[in-house]
Structure 1
Amino acid sequence: MARRLCVASGGSGDLVAAWALSRLPSLDRTVAFAAPVWERSALDPRPGPRGPGDLCGLVRDPRGRRIAPTTSLPGGWSPLPRFVEVSGSDVFFLDVTDGVENLGRHLARLCARAGADLIELVDVGGDVLAAGDEPGLRSPALDAVLLAACDASGIEAVVTVVGAGLDGELSPAELRRAHAELPLMHEQVIPRSVAGRAYADLAWFPSEASLMMLLACQGLVATVDIKAGLDPVVLDRAASIARTYLLRAVARRSRLVQAVRQAASFDEVNAALSDAGQVSELASERLFAKRAAAPRSPSEVSAALAHLDDRVTYTSLRRCAHIYGASSRAQVDALDAMIRRSFAAAYRKPLVPTFLMKEFGSRLHADMGVAP
């Protein structure tokens, strides 16, 4: 029986899937979870991943730096402390700012001290499987760094992908290519009962792909508009399938992993990805931070709502926030609360029925108070 450390591949949201997977019947036992702290701009306006000095209240555990319910992120907010409180799980902080080799050594020490003999890198959406030449990649840095570090740790490691395609980064054809080129170790389905319990406990979590995955596991079939200019993502029972691959095979297939292996800082990761032809999420966040966020005028909102596709079943909360110009956590939370009050049972966070947005969206905007 393996004792596994579950690692969130793309950030804190992947812990939702990791927690659900840990509830499945298995001979393996999850001994702990681990994740970096890098939240999107609405939650943490400072670009880039956070180091240990950026967090207050990390617990000095013999096994490693542990996140507690009282841990905080000055100047921003991370859902990890609340996740620890709700789940009752041990979650350890991973410092991805200190280079790939140091992170690999950290993972090896953490496994040794926690009694884990297997690392399971968990990803919702499947962009962790990218070869590196896919044009839709928007967040390659964390996946590449964690793949490289897990590979360098010397610990047996696997990659598990669930909710393939729900992040909108890899196309269905690119995902099929990855599945065909990577030997599959095993696959399993997250049952409705497990997903339902996870959703009941974690529906507050600000990870749209993870929550959509849990809704699909419960039987929701839909198409979702998640971002302007992207094709809608499809929710169906296929999103409930968790596929597991040898991490070594995934890492060797990725030219981005090869590019970042020698990086000694996150700036070097960013530069290596740029040299490899990819724009990292750090570069994107730095560009976003230079732009002044501005709320939308009523006419701009009306025009955006009119362009929503009637054939798409749902519009995601984050897409709605972009339409309204709600760019801070407080504004997004206010929008979430107003949608919940206005649409009640028709709203299953983060999914807003598109026909309701088209019919009543302008009224919501007027009530939000974000318009100039």
Structure 2
Amino acid sequence: MTRLIVAAGGGGDAVAAAMLHVALYGGEDRAVILTYAWDRLLIDPLPGPRRPSDFTGLERLTPTVWSVSAQTRPIEPAGSTLPRLAAELPATFALLDPHQGAVGLTRQLESLVDHVQPASIDLLDVGGDILARGDEPTLKSPLADALTLAACCQMNEPVRLLVAGPGLDGELPPEAMTSTLGPVVRKLTAEDTAAISTVLEWHPSEATGLLAATARGIRGTCEIRDAGLPVLLTDESPAVHEADLDDALSRNRLARAITATASLDEAEAYSREVCGYSEIDYERNKARRLNEHRPTNLDPAAIRTQLAQFEAEARTRGSTHTTFRRITEALSLSGAQRDELRQLLVASHPKQYEAPLWRVTDEA
């Protein structure tokens, strides 16, 4: 029996899908996870999502859908976490290509469903920004989720929309989703995170990292992203809610606007019109800034001094935890240095590592 899970935003949603497959279905059925190759600039220096032509070693599942294997490699300078996920997790990772817009995504979904004949189809979003209207001031990355929502709503097959960890992506506060979220289908536990425990050690996703952290019992306020957005880690954070797919589409103005789009450029234009911006434009601008910034070598003594200052300032903001992405950017390091930084800090201050987060503390 096959379970199909569509990772709404790509990146960390694909990791969360692997965890959820075990939590909801026991991990005995075959998992097919359909996801974008869109890892943002910490992993991939190129803005936007990758196409199948950006990889070598893909395996064709259908005329429009390719799967990623452990032997797949992104063509430089592109980067992707998907080959490593395929190597470490017992799931089939199939590639969503949004470059033909929502119309193309719908074709891919229908083709894959015809091929694998899944017993169930879940559309998973970690954080809940798939429920956004489009005008919320805290919304940062609506396009990927809107595209998958628009595509799933065009299918003739039943699709269940799941929102895990409401508010954990820092885009919509949990209270903004209260009227839209349906029943809790699973409260994730530490045992549920075992399926992805090794992945959490290296994968840069913040929202899925926070979801796993709260499932492990971590509570407090965590700073995320380059802007240091505060995210509350509460007893409600590890919940997985069902939400009505049609209600989500009715609420999401961007998803409704892009339903008939046949290219990513067209969908981007609607994002600028509906939301006032495109998240890929943000990535383009940030990539230019990063290209102008020369990464410095990691100096352990200098890092510890800078970290102590960052932690002191974070505590004054009321933070108890932060992510390694946040520390990497706060210390003006490159995304390629994130793992080296994590290893350095964990080795020198192991008690502050509450996997996969870093605890801000007064301890020496």
TM-score, scaled to structure 2? 0.88
For residue 186 of structure 2, give the secondary structure of its aligned residue in structure 1. Answer: strand
Alignment coverage as a number of residue pairs: 352
Q: CA deviation at 1:347?
A: 0.8
1:99-114 to structure 2, matched below 5 A, reads: 99-114=101-116
1:281 CA displacement: 1.5
Q: Distance in 1 between matches of 2:269 and 2:196?
A: 38
1:212 and 2:198 aligned: no
2:339 aligned with 1:339, yes or no?
no
Cα distance in 2 for partners of 1:92, 1:352 equals 32
With over 3 angstroms needed to count, the CA separation of the structure-2 counterparts of 1:152 and 1:117, relative to structure 1, is farther
Aligned to 1:16: 15
The 3 A distance-change label for structure 1 pair 58 and 262 is same
Distance (Å, rounded) in 1 between the aligned partners of 2:24 and 2:254: 34
Q: Which residue of 1 is the match for residue 53 of structure 2? A: 53
State the shift of 1:7 in Å.
0.9
* 2:187 alignment counterpart: 189
Mapped to 1, the partners of 2:184 and 2:234 lie a distance apart of 20
State the alpha-carbon separation in 1 of the partners of residues 294 and 314 from structure 2: 21
| Local SS of the residue matching 1:116 | coil
Q: Are residue 313 (structure 1) and residue 324 (structure 2) matched?
A: no
Q: Deviations over 1:1-32 (max 9, x none)?
A: x9531011111211221111111254995541
Residue pair 2:9, 2:145 contacting (<8 A) in 1 also:
yes
Mapped contact 1:317–1:349 kept (Cα < 8 A) = no
Give the gaps of 5 or more residues in structure 2: none
Residue of structure 1 in register with 2:72 after alignment:
71
Of 151, 160, 163, the residue aligned with 1:161 is 163
Task: Tell me what 1:232 maps to.
Answer: 230
In structure 2, the partner of 1:369 is none
**Are the aligned partners of 1:196 and 1:214 in contact in 2 as well (CA < 8 Å)?**
no
Residue 105 of structure 1: how far off its partner (Å): 1.1
Distance 2:212 2:312 in 1: 29
Q: Are 1:7 and 2:6 counterparts?
A: yes
Q: Does 1:246 align with 2:244?
A: yes
Seen in structure 2, the aligned counterparts of structure 1 residues 160 and 30 have a Cα distance that, compared at 3 Å, is farther
Q: What displacement does 1:258 show?
A: 1.2
Q: Is the 8 A contact 2:54 2:78 kept in 1?
A: no
Q: TM-score, normalised by structure 1?
A: 0.86
CA contact (8 A) 2:22 2:195 kept: no
Q: How does 1:87-166 map to 2 (within 5 A)?
A: 87-116=89-118, 118-166=120-168
SS state at 2:43 partner:
coil
Whether the 8 Å CA contact 1:69–1:84 is kept in 2: the answer is yes
| Paired AA for residue 78 in structure 2 | G
For 2:72, give the aligned amino acid: T
2:281 is the alignment partner of 1:283: yes
**Is the partner of 1:121 in helix, strand or coil?**
strand
Deviations 1:167-210 (A, max 9, x none): 1111233222xxx145x265221233122343245432221211
Partner of 2:361, secondary structure, is helix
Q: Distance in 1 between matches of 2:30 and 2:249?
A: 23
Equivalent pair of 1:162/1:240 in contact (CA under 8 Å): yes
Which range moves more in the overlay, 97-106 or 223-232?
223-232
Q: Contact 2:21 / 2:31 at 8 angstroms: preserved in 1? A: no
Deviations 1:111-164 (A, max 9, x none): 110112542111111111112121111111100111111112322112111111
Query: Identity, % of aligned pairs?
Result: 32
Q: Is the 8 A contact 2:126 2:168 kept in 1?
A: yes
Residue aligned with 1:223, SS? strand
Matched with 2:39 is 39
- Aligned to 1:264, the other structure's residue is in SS state coil
- Once the two structures are TM-superposed, the CA of residue 304 in structure 1 deviates from its matched residue by 4.9
In structure 2, do the counterparts of structure 1 residues 118 and 325 end up closer, same or farther at CA, with 3 Å as the change threshold? same
Alignment partners' CA distance in 2, 1:327 and 1:91? 28
Counterparts in 2 of 1:143 and 1:172: CA distance versus 1, 3 Å: same
8 Å Cα contact 1:43/1:78 also seen in 2: yes
SS at 1:232's partner residue?
strand
Q: Deviations over 1:261-294 (max 9, x none)?
A: 1222111111111011332220101111222235
Q: Which moved more, 1:119-128 or 1:289-298?
A: 289-298
**Which shows bigger deviation, 347-356 or 7-16?**
347-356
Q: Secondary structure at the match of 1:272?
A: helix
Task: Kindly indicate whether the alpha-carbon contact (under 8 Å) linking 2:352 and 2:361 is maintained by their aligned counterparts in 1.
Answer: no
Task: Please report the RMSD computed on the Cα atoms of aligned residues, expressed in angstroms.
Answer: 2.6
